[in-house]
Amino acid sequence: MQCVKDMAFALKQWQELPICKERDEVGHEVAISGQSCLWRLYNLYGFDISCDLTYDVMHTLSLCVFKKYVHMLVKYAKGNGKIKDLESALQIVKKLSLATLGTTWPRSTTSLGFYKAKKY
Sign (positive/negative) of CA torsion 114, 118, 85, 91?
A: negative
* pLDDT tens digits for range 69-94: 777 888 888 888 888 898 888 788 77
CA distance 32 to 99: 42
What's residue 70's pLDDT?
77
- For residue 92, what are the contacts with CB-CB under 8 A and spacing of at least 6? none
What average pLDDT is seen over the chain? 76
* pLDDT tens digits for range 38-75: 888 888 888 887 778 777 776 666 666 777 777 788 88
Task: Check residues 104 and 69 and name the one with the higher pLDDT.
Answer: 69
CA distance readout (Å), 18 to 8, 14, 31, 102? 18, 9, 17, 50
Q: What percent of the chain has pLDDT over 90?
A: 0
What's residue 1's pLDDT?
40
| Nearest CA among 19, 20, 23 for reference residue 32 | 23
CB atoms near residue 62 (< 10 Å)? 15
Q: Residue 19 — very low, low, confident or very high, per pLDDT cuts 50/70/90? A: confident
Domains of the chain by residue range: 2-52, 57-119
